[in-house]
Chains A and B, each alone.
Chain A
Amino acid sequence: MAQEERKFVYLDNAATTRMRPEVLEAMLPYFTEHYGNPSSLYEVGRDAKKAVELAREKVARAIGAEPSEIVFTGSGSEADNWAIKGVAQALEKKGRHIVTSAIEHHAVLHSVEALAKRGWEVTYVPVDDQGIVDPADVERAIRPDTVLVTIMMANNEIGTVQPVDEIGRICRAKGVWFHTDAVQAAGALPIDMKMLSVDLCSFSAHKIYGPKGVGALYIRKGVRLPVFIDGGGQERKRRAGTENVPGVVGFGRAFELAASEQPANAARLTEIRDAAIARIMGGIPHVRLNGHPTKRLPGNANFSFQFIEGESLLLLLDMYGFACSSGSACTSGSLDPSHVLLAIGLVHEIAHGSLRVTFGKENGLDDIEPLFEALVKVVDRLREMSPLYDEYLKAEGKK
């Protein structure tokens, strides 16, 4: 294999992104120079406090919210947990029914499963074969005892963008709180809380070229959640613990940049994505595109290559210098392939052969041809090894 000419191309921007230099620059003084505890009264403490509040304003402005509606968390997963378990606890007396979708992130699915074990009822609305939730299904699923609807803004695996505006309006009309996980949508889609009927929304910094270990939960004014972490008075006494000052500062800067660049970024990534899809679908036989052709995240492409398995595909692509991801069982740590791919109706063997390619800021149209060339080699090689491909060729009389 041509390892000597190997160039590393990162195509897993849905997993995480490389932090931008502007973000790092903004963070650095808060590790050393402004090291104070934001709760302290003296100057280095006040500096840190100001920085946290400025970051909160930046995050709020990026999504059309008020700073008081933003709480910082340790991750997008924490924001999901807080929103779901918080609403369940707050409205326990009103009802114990939650509506979600079949393709949520595990931070949402496992949170509702944890509640289900404690007596809550959960309705999982299905998705169509392109991964889209029908708002009418959400409307039908809402009952008098429903306290929360949680449906993601855009899916992390197949990139499908959900009709959250319509779902939000339905929830609002029925008086049910609506949470949406916007971890993948941030920076990729326009998000304006003034326009959306969203009550709770989760974000993560490291998906938008910010630092790992920081997230945020938007809590609409009027929505009251129980205290998440008991202790000091941080985050208006809702989440105790000394703030991750450099992280929060980095998040504020990253979100500010992501929001201002969103339209241009989305247009550029859409062009790259569509060119990649056209090249791969047009040049490799027995491939399907998973998700919706247009209602998908600008940077997301997800394919299934028939007769081969995703982990071996990833390992070989890695040898050619391409970092991607897969929904195969062997990459999920269980025997089942991704719940998202099964929910859109893929049979197991097709789901096992999935490849997710997610483009980001550092990618360009010039990454497509090398990726395509590597894929042709890798897919051919694995098919040559595959007894399933043999059987297909024999059945077709080609062998």
Chain B
Amino acid sequence: MYSEKVMDHFMHPRNMGEIENADAVGTVGNAKCGDIMRIFLKIENGIVVDAKFKTFGCGSAIATSSMATEMIIGKSIDEVLQLSNKAVAEALDGLPPQKMHCSLLAEQAVKAALKEYYEKHGLIDDSNRAIFAEAEDHEHDGE
């Protein structure tokens, strides 16, 4: 039921772990629903230089966390803000329909982390406010 890419990222997750003194951390999901994703970012000069994750969840939750971190490392924060769950799912050669929410969780975890960073650095403006408002809804799910 999973693509080979999903299985590969599940079996050999990239960037699993924590970043000590991360510049931003985002946590979404909740244990009740069976998945929690936490993304750690290291940001230097507006570039995501490192990303790591910790995830409680099913195979696709782990695979999407892994893929999302791989996709954002080396990108500017403004680019990372455009990350979509569809792009994560496509990069994994697709997810079963009932697992698409896992890719959404990965997108929201990244955005929750970025929000923290944007707020801390006074970078929130009209161009990104809507994106963060959506991320915030999911962040509250995680509490």
Interface residues of A (CB under 8 A from B): 1, 307-312, 315-316, 319, 328-330, 333, 335, 337, 347-349, 352, 384-390
Contact = CB atoms under 8 A, between A and B. Distances in A.
A352 B38 contact: no
Contact of B57 (A312, A319, A333): A312
Nearest to B31: A349
B54 A387 contact: yes
Interface of B: 7, 10-11, 13, 16, 18, 27, 31-38, 54-62, 98-99
A388 B56 contact: yes
A358 to B, nearest CB: 21
Given A312-B59, A386-B56, A390-B18, 11 more contacts: A309-B35, A309-B58, A311-B59, A328-B34, A329-B34, A330-B57, A385-B13, A385-B54, A386-B54, A387-B54, A388-B56
Nearest to B65: A385
Given A348-B34, A387-B38, A328 B58 contact: yes
Contacts of A319: 11
B34 A388 contact: no
Contacts of A311: 58-59
Contact of B16 (A347, A385, A388): A385
Contacts of B54: 385-387, 390
Contact of B33 (A1, A315, A348): A348
A348 B30 CA distance: 10
Contacts of B57: 309, 312, 330
A328 B58 CA distance: 9
A132 B54 CA distance: 37
Contact of A307 (B7, B56, B60): B56
Contacts of B61: 309, 312
Nearest to A331: B58
27 contacts: A307-B56, A309-B35, A309-B58, A311-B58, A312-B58, A328-B58, A329-B33, A330-B58, A330-B60, A330-B99, A335-B33, A348-B31, A348-B34, A349-B31, A349-B34, A352-B31, A384-B16, A385-B16, A385-B56, A385-B62, A386-B55, A386-B56, A387-B36, A387-B37, A387-B55, A388-B31, A390-B18
